[in-house]
Amino acid sequence: MPFPNHIPTKTDIENTHERISPLIHRTPVLTSRSLNKISGAELFFKCENFQRAGAFKFRGATNAVLSLSTGELKRGVATHSSGNHGAALAMAARLQNIPAYIVMPRTAPAVKKNAVKAYGAEIIFCEPTLQARQETLDNVVERTGAVFVHPYDNYTIIAGQATAGKELLGEIPNLDFIVPPVGGGGLASGTALSAKYFSKGVKVIGAEPAGADDAFRSLRDNKIYPSVNPQTIADGLLTSLSEKTFEILKENLENIFTVSEKSIITAMRLVWERLKVIIEPSSAVPFAAVLENKDFFEGKKVGLIISGGNVDLDKPPWNN
């Protein structure tokens, strides 16, 4: 069933959640007295690292695949992705027995390449530039007739990502804030829509690496800046906002906090050590934002979206 081509409404997100629920995990919300004590806030970690394919991206990808027409299903789906969206789309396609073509930069982490391969997709490698990505993808689409599923400039995807925040709000209804990480803005814009539709005034604050702060600058100056030479270990947050995510975020995001690389590593290690769960660097960015802004979050109930857990176990960043 084709997805409506407008900013997802409350009903669109409810329908999306119903449609994808049989395929996704309803991920747990974890808490830690010790991390509450360290941060001074009351934290609720929505653990999308336990989502299928290891990241929230499976929500949007599943919604995209389930929204294809019969003719489109035959030709399959294609995308470019530094990792998690590619793996998610590969798995979502496999569950419907349709082909998936994933354009990946050669520099993507091995764990993410292996996941895409394991889910049976065809990988097409490219140089790690936006231009190479796009050209390679265009060639793939021309060759195969597959439907391009953009990682975030796509309302179907955004509605899927919104369901993580919707679940969190359903489980912990009296939150003050939700903090998602901001890369291309798919998760952040979905979360902001869910907060608007499914809560009474929960504010959404994006968290972004200072070394990849294009979204912060874009919202400040009200124009989309490209992400030029981003420098961060948060490899899921290297991309810039798109027209669709920018449009939603500028209306619905309370603020964006940027964080240092040092804070990201500290936050990531604390989550591994105290919460006992494996998260990737991008997932540590919201907790890093809390640690860098203790006065702001003091005594508040804060939902943090742990976006994924696909990390190279040979190279935790504190061992570099």
Handedness of CA 289, 290, 294, 296 (dihedral sign): positive
Tell me if 5 contacts a copy of itself by CB under 8 A: no
Burial class (CB in 10 A: 0-12, 13-18, 19+), 186: buried
Q: Is 90 in the site for a copy of itself (CB under 8 A)?
A: no
Element of type H or E holding 145: none
254-283 mask for a copy of itself (x: CB under 8 A)?
Answer: ---------------x--xx--xxxx----
CA distances from 100 to 1, 55, 114, 167 (A): 19, 18, 15, 28
Smallest gap from residue 275 Cβ to a copy of itself (A):
8
Number of residues that bind a copy of itself (CB under 8 A): 22
Is the separation of the CB atoms in 122 and 141 below 8 Å?
Answer: no
Query: Quick one: 38 or 285, whose CB is closer to a copy of itself?
Result: 38
β-pair type (29-30, 42-47): antiparallel
**Segment 49-68, which members bind a copy of itself (CB under 8 A)?**
49-50, 52, 54
Determine, following the binding rule CB under 8 A, whether residue 125 of this chain makes contact with a copy of itself. no
Asked if 286 touches a copy of itself (CB under 8 A), the answer is no
Of 114 and 134, the one with the shorter C-beta distance to a copy of itself is 114
C-beta of 314: minimal distance to a copy of itself in Å? Answer: 7
**What residues contact residue 19 under an 8 Å CB cut-off, 6+ apart?**
63, 66
Residue 131 lies near a copy of itself (rule: CB under 8 A): no
Dist CA 95 CA 119 (whole Å): 9
Write out the H or E segment, with its range, that includes residue 254: none
Using rule CB under 8 A, residue 29 touches a copy of itself: no
Nearer to a copy of itself, 192 or 265 (CB): 265
Cβ-contact 111, 312 below 8 angstroms: yes
Q: Which is nearer to a copy of itself, 17 or 52 (CB)?
A: 52
Q: Which of 13, 23, 24, 30 is close enough to bind a copy of itself by CB under 8 A? A: 30
31 or 107, CB closer to a copy of itself?
A: 31
**What strand order describes the sheet that includes 42-47?**
29-30, 42-47, 301-306, 177-179, 203-209, 255-259
Q: In the bound complex, what is the minimum distance in angstroms from residue 8's beta carbon to a copy of itself?
A: 28
Do residues 205 and 172 make contact, with C-beta atoms less than 8 angstroms apart? no
Binding site for a copy of itself (CB under 8 A): 28, 30, 33, 47, 49-50, 52, 54, 111, 269, 272-273, 276-279, 309, 313-314, 316, 318-319
